A and B are shown apart, each in its own frame.
Chain A
């Protein structure tokens, strides 16, 4: 089955700097890759997603890149702000459409 690995597990950045989180997956048939943000006491919320027919997608300060050959995808947050502090999860769907999540990255943005 699908296996998703996520790095780093924690990431501390200065406000205004960029943050990058990387994930790798194992199932070459995977074709959908969402990213979720989880704030304290809430369920994860979708922030951006990408499908396998696209290499990059941007939404304001957030971007995701996908390298299907290498089977990895990354989340990029530019001009980080304190409200970006949260846990971020990557995910991939396997050939049956079942979601597999990474272990999560705790992002701390310090003023």
Chain B
């Protein structure tokens, strides 16, 4: 079946521009996470959506970062006024019930020039 889909797969943008990254989770999955992964580094938690609960935004690094999710479907991560340090791979993952596996997309590689 279809897995987690992220688009675009690659994005090059100029410093100061806004970008939107999209995640299409597996249908029916109530949990959705965004992570940032810098080159050679681990998974940095950004935000967590679980059903209709208020999202856990505790990992967002600054107010330039925001994310939305419409119901239990697509999510978008927005980075405003991009900086060079925002360059990384942004990974999305979705999960079914609590304490069930997360399924990751292949990420969006963001390069800020």
A-to-B contact residues, CB < 8 Å:
31-32, 34, 36, 41-46, 49, 51, 89, 91, 93, 97-104
Contact = CB atoms under 8 A, between A and B. Distances in A.
Contacts of B48: 98
B50 interface: yes
B15 interface: no
Chain A facing B: main interface SS: strand
A49 B42 CA distance: 19
Given A49-B101, A91-B102, 15 more contacts: A31-B99, A32-B99, A32-B100, A34-B102, A42-B106, A43-B91, A43-B107, A44-B104, A45-B104, A46-B101, A89-B43, A98-B56, A99-B33, A99-B95, A104-B42
Nearest to A51: B99
Chain B interface size, as a band, is: 20 to 34
A102 to B, nearest CB: 7
Contact of B99 (A36, A45, A97, A101): A97
Contacts of A101: 42-43, 45
B8 to A, nearest CB: 15
Given A97-B50, A99-B33, A44 B99 contact: no
A93 to B, nearest CB: 5
B2 interface: no
A46 B103 CA distance: 7
Contacts of B98: 93, 97
A104 B38 CA distance: 13
A82 B82 CA distance: 39
Contacts of A34: 101-102
Contact of A43 (B41, B45, B56, B104): B104
Contacts of A42: 106
B25 interface: no
